[in-house]
Each structure stands twice: as C-alpha cells, then as structure tokens.
A and B are shown apart, each in its own frame.
Chain A
C-alpha cells in the first residue's frame, strides 16, 4: 500500500446523499501520482457522483477527501484554490460559447493565476498545437465538431497546469467517429505521467491505458484491481454480469 505522502488524492469513507437517497455509501480510495484510475460501473452506480465529489462539484455528506494533504471535504476549506489544481472534463464539453477557443483557455490562467495575457496565450497555443487545433484558436466553440470541442475542453483544463485531471464520461456525447481523437489525447496525457481519474464506458481505453480499474456498484467500490485482474478474472458476480453486458 502507498503511504499518504505519495497519494495525490486519498478518499476516506466518502458518503454522498441527495436528500434521503444515498448515492455513495462509504468509499475508500487512493490515487497516486501519475496513476490513471478508470471508474466503470452501471448507470446509477454512483461513479459520476464519486468523480464530482473529488473536486466538490457535489458536496460530500460524509467522509474525507485529502488532496495535497488538505481535507477538501471540509466545508471551511477554500475549495476554489484546490480546484485550480484539479482539471475537469465534462461529458457535454461545457466550453464557453461567448468566447473563442483561445479565450476559453486563457480566462482562468489570467484571472486566477494572474498570468500575463501574452504568457497565457503562448501556453494555450502550445497546448492547442499538441492536440492539433492551433489553427482553430480564434474559432468559437459552435464552429467546432464535438471531438474538437472536447479536445479544447481538455486543453482548457490543462492550461491551469493541474496536478490531477478528472474526466466525466468524456466520450459519451460524441459521434462514434470522434471518440478516437479524444481518447488519443487522453492516452498521450497518460503517457506523459498525468494523474487521471476517468469515468468511462470505453472498456478498450480502460484496459489499455488504465493502471487501476474501480468497479462501482450500488454506491460502493465493488471490485478493484489492474485491468488484467478486473477484465481477465472478475471475482464478483455483479462485475461478471456487468462485463458480459458491455464487452
């Protein structure tokens, strides 16, 4: 087991209830630096809620989330500072439609980190080049395809130079032919050593890129292990029947 020091995120007994409805019923997990964690599970199993609790987009109703050694589940902690170090990518991209691609990417670095506009622009252009979209810097999101929008959403999060990247079903809203280009970007990010937590239905990605797979079931982690263990030798019946349906 890893000590608390190498873990970027340490989750202890995390609980989340919406009113009376318990969605997360005590989750324990550690995410180490450079690790790619893939979360799979049926819809309603709480996997998206778990991810959204990690940067407190959903306020946990119990338990602790240590990020950089600080319990960000504690309501008295200024979550905004910690969120700057946690990039998030959404299913629906959520680019800002009134801003160009470049403005989407530089808004937070300029306003939150006090970065000079030229520096922020340069950083953004470098990132855009990496995902092959440098020529779309002055486009508006609505002029881009879904796959392009999601790639921009990824580099927008990267422009804040985060320690962790959270992906909430990043390819679920894409046309099938665009899934590949987004997964490629995520793969290269993983290769560079980015710590990533990915909720996805792309089992191929989970198998190929994931260091560890968490199978969520009924608000708890039903099973976890390396992709080989989870996909090759599923122990629980629930996981077996889930895999039978999705593979």
Chain B
C-alpha cells in the first residue's frame, strides 16, 4: 500500500487523467515466495517492466533475502506482452472487478547460435550427444557439433531423397561421435541403419518392406526396436538386433570375394510386424513414454491412433478436424501435442478421455500448415512449432492465445524442428539449419 502511494505521488500530475485498474498478484510456482494479498491500483499505461518492478519491490519488502528476478504475467490464459491498456482493449478484459495476474518466472529468449548451410532442403533434424544430425532431400546426411563445426563423413552409399532420421545409439562418452548409430528412411522405400566407426559412415542394416516412401521412423529407448510409417498407410516394426536370424533376409552367397566381404557387413532385414489401420499416409510415429509396448501414430486420415505392438492392434483412436502432420509426447507429463494442415497446434491428453478431446488450441501462426511440433524435454510446459509461414514459435501451454517467443530467420517454409539438450534446431526449404540455445 505504501508503494501504491509512492506511485501515485510519482504520477501526481498524470494520475488524474489516466485510467486505473486494480490488480492482485498470485503464483503457483514454489520458487516464488509468498506474495502478499495486496490489491494494487495501477494505471493502465503500465507495461511488463513496470509491473516487474512493482512485484519485485513488493516481495523484497516482505523478504529481505529476495534477489530481483524477471517475471512473466499471465492474465486469464494469455501472456501479457503489451501495456495493460492495449491488453484490456484487445482481449476485452473486465475492469470493474479486481484483475488477477499470475506470476511466472521469466524465461529467457532463445539465442541464435549457428546458421548451418545444407546442400538441399532439410527434411529432418535430431540432436543427440552434443551433435545435430539432419537429412536432406538430396540424400545428404549433415552432422554438426555444438560449436557449429560440420563433420565431413565419407559416405559409402548415398541414399536418394531422405525424409526422416532417428538416433539408435549414442556413445556414453560426451561429445564423441564414434559409436553413434542412427537409422534413416526416404523415398526409396528403404530404411538404412548407419554407424559411425573411426570417422567413417558404415552401412550396417537395410530394412526392406515398405511399398512407398518412408515418412517417419522412431526408435525406442532401449534401442532394440524401430517403428516406421509410410505413404502406403502401413506401420512396420523392425528388430534392430543384428544377431537375430528370424528377421534376416538371406541371399545366395556370391563367389566374388570383394562383394562377399561387403555382403557380410551389410544385412537385409524384413519387418517383424506390419500394422495396417490408417487409410492415408502415416505422417508421424512416436513410442509411448509410459508403456514400452505401445506406440502412437498420426495420419492424413485425420486420426491419431495408439497401438499395442505386441498384439498388433489398436487401443484408442483420436479423430481430429484436419490431416495431422506431426505429433509429440512429453516423457514426463504424458501430454500429446499435434499439428495439422492448418495454423493451430492442438493439445490432447491420451490418458484422460473425459471432457473434450482437444485440451488446448494454440492460435498464433498465420496461414499455411504447422509442419512440426516438439516438446521441451526439460520443461513440461514448453513446446516449439514451425510453420509454412516461415516462423517458429515457442509456446507455453498455460497461454494459448499468444506464444512466448517468435523465432524468425528462415527465408522459406520450415519443414522440421527438434528440441533437445537445451537446443532448438529447425530445418527449412531454404537449405539452412538454424540452431538456437534456450536456458
């Protein structure tokens, strides 16, 4: 109350003409100490910085050990980004009653780290063990480390038109590349398991069985199984164990010693299970975080399906309004974020079927498609979405009407994104991979 008096004294000449609104602060975060239940009379011209100053001084008055920090303010379901006057006018907030403002510890904006030039359109990106792995539509595999240095690998056989990548195994030593294994899939209906051995890319396994282009691939956490989706509407589960003979495709041994030696190193595998339940192209697959025998897939037939891979059957099906382009499941909160062929990412709860299907719709992208969505594995509230309107947006699930940050930089449609180890990587049709660092 003293601070309110001080503010009135400071604005002595202007307070007569300016509008005022009564607000109160509260928080659900445990890091923030108890905020007093005081009601503040604030002019509507106040912005985030002014409210930050007010809140910091209020907490400091009660708790002497408090250090000044930056807050984000949630009003209703929207982050406060402008002045109170503009916010009230834009969202038609009722000013007769006391405005309740939720305080959240401020998140730092992602900092652009690197801009990597790729030889062609970037089709997918992954981050593992301090390195960024990406594929292009020209069949290239680009591997960049955290410092932006690109690793040139000798490729034995270049696949044509790659579409997806998934990390199978990463070495235990930090920032080491030898021993890494990943699987890629593309237009040639094949999935290939590569390993990096002594600075060279070695083709280990060829997974054959899809009828059309492979659209998506995912490897489970213990690196024994992979699941892939294709344009032919099928899902196939692969056994990545090289020593398993049941799924190995044998050919007649040829007499030529050179081919014989190479054939011994490269094996061809057939799928363990083929699941056909979708009616259109499968656009994304994800392993279930809480059940190792389940997986999720989404398709252009407007559905997200949960599968039981041991029974090769369907558990549940979510129907959406549009064709789905991407899904992601958070390993901790078990929430599912999805993107469609429109501008709105949607939040689903696959475990809870009560109430409406869509828990939250995040409105902010312009026209076009949202191509990919990705959770922040370190925070249950944040995800990133990329769109054909050349922007990437960082969202907080508590605010569905405005994003946390807008990430600009690409000149063309952004096709893929990933968020891991505190890094966001986006790949675009302008042949660049942009890497941003988050707190």
A joins B in a complex: no
B→A interface (CB under 8 Å): none
